[in-house]
Amino acid sequence: MTKASIQFKHVKKSFGGNMVIPDLSFTVNRGEFVTILGSSGCGKTTTLKMINGLLKPDSGQILIDGQPLADLDIVKLRRHMGYVVQQIGLFPHMTIAQNIGVVPQMLGWDKAKIVSRVTQLLKLVRLDPQKYAGRYPSQLSGGQQQRIGVARALATNPPYVLFDEPFGALDALTRLELQKEIKRIHDTLAGKTFLFVTHDINEALFLGERVMVMNRGQIEQFATPKEVVAHPATEFVKKLLGTVRQNQELWGRSK
């Protein structure tokens, strides 16, 4: 039986009179990999930030594992909720090992446990611990830094991890490689709920077990990639899929 991990119930959010989220309701099940797809300004990042308490809804209710977010200790929640963004934010004066171990250290883990966890996570993101643990962020490529960002987000073994367009600044080949890695990591870590925001339809369809297509703060369709492609629910979704088909046609002409 599936269990709800994250729920929005008639959530509304505005900024200075500009209604960004007019009325948003959805449920993400425990262990799911859900991608949130939409163009800039559609409300996908706002949605993500409300989940970890960086933004508060004007009305409605957000539930985390059945508990109202408003009743939870936000600081404690964030320490057990991974968050990966495009601007990775690694501390430049700290080694890779120290960057990954920041939150465990704040939580009072002993040194041996932190070292063990850092080693485990570096192996998970396929970076040799002996080679990379003592390096500094400036000594890593963009793709390697983003892998460290993912490792840091997983440091406390959180039940949910939020990704806000983490690969947007990377070149196409590195981006594709990391998409495969994120999918593999989710498959490896049973029971973890991943929410991944992107404006790239190919990325959304490749990664998501379900895809939430957003437009102007509302859900146009929330279904499996296969269902979205085979049965687009609205004209907006059809237009999005049309951009993919257009690219395929262009490639076909160049052969």
The pLDDT value recorded for residue 248 is 63
The pLDDT value recorded for residue 152 is 93
Q: Which of 135, 49, 143 is nearest to 91 (CA)?
A: 135
Which residue bears the tokens 């262009």?
250
Kindly list the domain boundaries of the chain, sorted by start residue: 87-158
Amino acid at 205: L
The pLDDT value recorded for residue 85 is 84
The pTM (predicted TM-score) of the whole model is 0.91
The pLDDT value recorded for residue 246 is 63
The pLDDT value recorded for residue 93 is 95
The pLDDT value recorded for residue 88 is 72
As a whole number of angstroms, the distance between CA 207 and CA 225 comes to 9
Amino acid at 35: T
Question: What torsion, rounded to 10 degrees, do the Cα atoms 171, 216, 20, 212 define?
Answer: -60
Residues in the chain: 255
The pLDDT value recorded for residue 168 is 81
- 196-238-234 Cα angle (round to 5): 85
Using CA of residue 210, residue 150, residue 201, residue 61, what is the dihedral sign?
Answer: positive
Residues 6+ apart with CB under 8 A from 89: 149
The pLDDT value recorded for residue 249 is 62
Q: Which parts of the chain are beta strand (E)?
A: 4-15, 18-29, 33-37, 59-64, 67-68, 81-85, 160-164, 193-198, 210-215, 218-223
Q: What is the maximum alpha-carbon separation in the chain? A: 60
Which residue bears the tokens 């088909």?
245
The token pair that represents 101 in the structure block? 């171990």
Consecutive 10-residue runs of the chain (255 residues): their mean pLDDT? Answer: 90 94 96 94 93 94 95 88 84 95 92 96 94 95 92 92 88 90 92 94 95 96 95 94 70 53
As a whole number of angstroms, the distance between CA 215 and CA 248 comes to 24
Q: Any bridge partners for residue 84, and if so which?
A: 163
Q: Any bridge partners for residue 126, and if so which?
A: none
